């Protein structure tokens, strides 16, 4: 029976690469169609990928921790159900459902020896797989494969990829093992041996040097994607920022009343809920803020897909609530709570982060009064609320202590001028100052 190649698929986010988090099978395992075989981390979420084939895993072509391009081979599967000679046929490994908060706790194994660069190119320069149309029953689809997609053989052990020009460090196997045990990257070791060979003493010297040197943190996954997005936005979109201080005392009073309301007792309530409603209310009066710049035209969106910026252990995630303008206060509170919980537990689905139209962020939870947030790519507005603090405030000609916060935002100056952004922000502020206006 033929040997087929399982490729890394696009999980529906339009991304080009993903990090291998866990491999749910080993060489020699029998797999069924739709059995989860690999878990990957994209820039937005953890995704489990099922096998589109039934057969036996012949060879794993990637290792845990490797960054792999979409369309690259993940593993070879022999569609003959008989295990290859010399390889035991094992049962299925237990699979945890990421959507239910499960997590694969298996320890990463040492990467396998994938042979030389030439062997890898020879192996995948041939038609050793086949294309199969699995229809709608297979829960996986293949994204576009770039012409230069390849197996990153040297990358499997964290060494440079095939197209990099760094020379492979020269060291005896025993020295390589010694360096691996100490966690020393041989590419950063200065050789003193004959012919540029790295010795054990070189490794020891590098250990003391590396302990004193700056720690190097790989840029990958969500951090890489965030860096790319904010760089693109910051240097391609002219931002204009406006701010206003607001007496939010009545917003706090409303939040307190909602917390005591039996209808809301199962939902977390915070000023972010009132800000969300204020933004959707203000968008009706300034529709241009809910739009996308497209060079030849400005796209005004009828739906308010409200992005909620969430700080997670992995980094910043911005899922959005579709058609937020249509939701009741209670439904909006439930939607915010659900998205925040999913984001912090890495259960966000790809579709939750797509097609956002405007974003809000609560930087006040970090004790910050103000800031200048960067626009989400494809959006024209982002609104923040700062820390809510007691401040002296003039009310009816007299000074009293009120709960005050700074709200502000950044806007795409190509789409709107400062007066439009200011009017929108003042409308948002008016709701926070007097939430009763929402009953209009």
Tell me which residues are annotated as active site.
413
Tokens, residue 351:
């579709």
CB–CB of 428/383 below 8 Å? yes
Q: What is the spatial distance between Cα 290 and Cα 357, in angstroms, rounded to a whole number?
A: 6
**What are the structure tokens assigned to 189, written together?**
């070791």
10 Å Cβ neighbour count for 180? Answer: 14
Give the total residue count for the chain: 440
d(CA 402, CA 38): 54
Tokens of residue 428, six digits: 């948002």
Measured distance CA(139)–CA(11) in Å, rounded? 11
For residues 426 and 242, give the distance between their C-alpha atoms in angstroms, rounded to a whole number: 10
């Amino acid at each position: 029976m033929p040997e087929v190649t399982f490729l890394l698929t696009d999980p529906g986010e339009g991304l080009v690469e993903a990090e291998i988090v866990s491999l749910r099978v080993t060489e020699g395992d029998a797999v069924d169609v739709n059995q989860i075989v690999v878990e990957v981390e994209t820039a937005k979420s953890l995704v489990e990928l099922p096998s589109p084939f039934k057969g036996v895993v012949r060879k794993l072509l990637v290792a845990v921790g490797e960054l792999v391009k979409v369309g690259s081979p993940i593993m070879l599967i022999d569609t003959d159900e008989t295990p290859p000679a010399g390889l035991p046929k094992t049962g299925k490994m237990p699979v945890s459902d990421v959507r239910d908060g499960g997590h694969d706790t298996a320890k990463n194994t040492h990467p396998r020896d994938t042979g030389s660069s030439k062997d890898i190119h020879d192996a995948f320069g041939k038609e050793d797989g086949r294309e199969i149309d699995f229809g709608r029953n297979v829960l996986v689809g293949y994204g576009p494969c770039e012409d230069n997609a390849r197996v990153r053989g040297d990358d499997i052990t964290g060494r440079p990829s095939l197209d990099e020009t760094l020379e492979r460090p020269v060291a005896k196997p025993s020295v390589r093992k010694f360096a691996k045990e100490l966690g020393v990257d041989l590419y950063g070791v200065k050789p003193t041996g004959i012919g540029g060979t790295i010795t054990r003493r070189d490794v020891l010297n590098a250990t003391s040097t590396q302990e004193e040197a700056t720690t190097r943190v790989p840029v990958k996954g969500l951090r890489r994607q965030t860096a790319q997005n904010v760089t693109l936005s910051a240097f391609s979109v002219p931002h204009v920022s406006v701010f206003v201080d607001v007496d939010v005392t009545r917003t706090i009073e409303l939040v307190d009343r909602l917390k005591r309301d039996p209808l809301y007792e199962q939902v977390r309530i915070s000023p972010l809920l009132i800000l969300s409603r204020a933004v959707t209310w203000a968008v009706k009066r300034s529709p241009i803020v809910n739009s996308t710049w497209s060079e030849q035209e400005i796209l005004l969106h009828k739906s308010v897909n409200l992005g909620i910026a969430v700080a997670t252990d992995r980094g910043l995630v911005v899922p959005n609530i579709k058609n937020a303008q249509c939701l009741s206060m209670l439904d909006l509170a439930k939607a915010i709570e659900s998205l925040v919980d999913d984001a912090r537990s890495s259960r966000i689905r790809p579709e939750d982060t797509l097609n956002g139209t405007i974003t809000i962020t609560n930087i006040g939870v970090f004790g910050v009064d103000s800031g200048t947030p960067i626009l989400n790519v494809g959006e024209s507005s982002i609104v923040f609320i700062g820390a809510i603090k007691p401040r002296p405030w003039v009310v009816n000609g007299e000074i009293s202590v009120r709960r005050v916060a700074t709200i502000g935002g950044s806007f795409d100056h190509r789409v709107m001028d400062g007066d439009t952004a200011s009017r929108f922000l003042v409308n948002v502020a008016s709701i926070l100052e007097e939430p009763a206006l929402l009953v209009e």
